[in-house]
Amino acid sequence: MARPNLKSLLRLSQFAVNLNLNKTTQLTNLSKSLITQNRNFSTSKIIRQDTSNNNAPATKINFYVEEYKDKGYMVLKFNKAPVNSLNLEFLTELNIQLDKIEQSKDIKGVILTSHLPNIFSAGLDILEMYQIKQERGTQFWTALQETWIKLYGSNKIFIAAINGHSPAGGCLLAMSCDYRIMTKGPYKIGLNETLLGIKAPFWFRDTMINTIGYRETEKALQLGKLYSPEEALAVNLVDEIVDANVLIQKAEEQMVKWCSIPTVARELTKSSMRRDTVSKLIAQRESDTQSFIEFTQRDSIQKSLKGYLEAMKKPKK
């Protein structure tokens, strides 16, 4: 196959970002991503697209996927500008990606990262909670539960390459991975829910306890602590901190190491460590969703969320 030059690849990826996707097949299309078969471009990019309706409104591509089937892993990059906030559509698409990964015989592991600079994920989209409606809220929370169950409960290897801020739900995604590498810099990671006037759900808490231990979690959750990369390393919230230019390389080195462990033994071990935590949510999914709706509908919570949103909109100094 002919080697495409860099210019044509850039044009190709811009084209992919601007793809028009058919509204009626939007959900299916959510899983359609830019597939790069080799990051060194020694083979051409494959772009999957649905061309059944060229008059459809533009839909952004929320994920980029680079597959290295020969090496047994892939890189999944969040691409929901401006901050990779987790809304219903994004989570639905992520769940489709996670299903595909789970079903793939060729893929042993995934490096999760962000295509956007300085941000891994800003966590849950606050607009999904502000002025919440029962039906959409239920779908949203169910999708989030689904994401966590699929990610935290997966037997595949997940390595988070955290290239920027990762508060709240962003931290949950990172903690659900098996290994975390964070870029050095002015970034923050942690479960800051109390600062928004809300309580972190029990499964966020349990994931953090499993990651950094009970005492540190108790302090972190009450204070809504957002850790710098150095602080996060000191409490084992991340496993490594590195310069931005070597983040993916370091993640790949770890991936190779994790992939070299006998698969069945590693999977059984992982499952034995995480099964109880995941089962706890599975047993309480409906009541957890109900609590989320009731809690977020409270006037006091709505007031807090409104204030938080307004503070975020204030012009930056």
Ligand X SMILES: CCCCC/C=C/C(=O)SCCNC(=O)CCNC(=O)[C@H](O)C(C)(C)COP(=O)(O)OP(=O)(O)OC[C@H]1O[C@@H](n2cnc3c(N)ncnc32)[C@H](O)[C@@H]1OP(=O)(O)O
Stretch that binds ligand X, among 11-19, 55-63, 120-128, 261-269 (CB under 6 A): 120-128
Catalytic-residue membership of 294 = no
By CB under 6 A, name the one of 124, 157, 175, 220 that touches ligand X: 124
Task: List, in order, residues 6 or more apart from 292 with CB less than 8 Å away.
Answer: 137, 141, 201
Contact status: 223 vs ligand X (CB under 6 A): no
Between 115 and 165, CB nearer to ligand X = 165
Catalytic residue among 193, 216, 226, 252: 193
Min dist CB 292 to ligand X, Å, is 5
Gyration radius (Cα) of the chain, Å: 20
Strand partners, 69: none
Min dist CB 127 to ligand X, Å, is 5
Stretch that binds ligand X, among 15-23, 32-40, 190-198, 206-214 (CB under 6 A): 190-198
Catalytic-residue membership of 192 = yes
CA angle 179, 182, 185 (to 5 degrees): 170
Structure letter (DSSP) for residue 131: T
Catalytic-residue membership of 27 = no
The pairing of beta strand 73-78 with beta strand 63-68: antiparallel
Structure tokens of 287? 């009541």
Sign of CA dihedral 100, 102, 103, 107: positive
Site string for ligand X, 276-305 (x = CB under 6 A): ----------------x--xx---------
Catalytic-residue membership of 124 = yes
Tokens 């500008």 — which residue? Answer: 81
Contact status: 176 vs ligand X (CB under 6 A): no
Contact status: 85 vs ligand X (CB under 6 A): yes
Q: What is the Cα–Cα distance from 102 to 62, expressed in whole angstroms?
A: 19
Residue in the shown chain whose Cβ atom is closest to ligand X: 123
Min dist CB 266 to ligand X, Å, is 30
Crossing angle (nearest 10°) for helices 202-212 and 214-223: 130
The pairing of beta strand 63-68 with beta strand 46-47: unpaired
Contact positions vs ligand X (CB under 6 A): 82-83, 85, 118-119, 122-127, 165, 167-169, 192-193, 196, 198, 201, 292, 295-296, 312-313
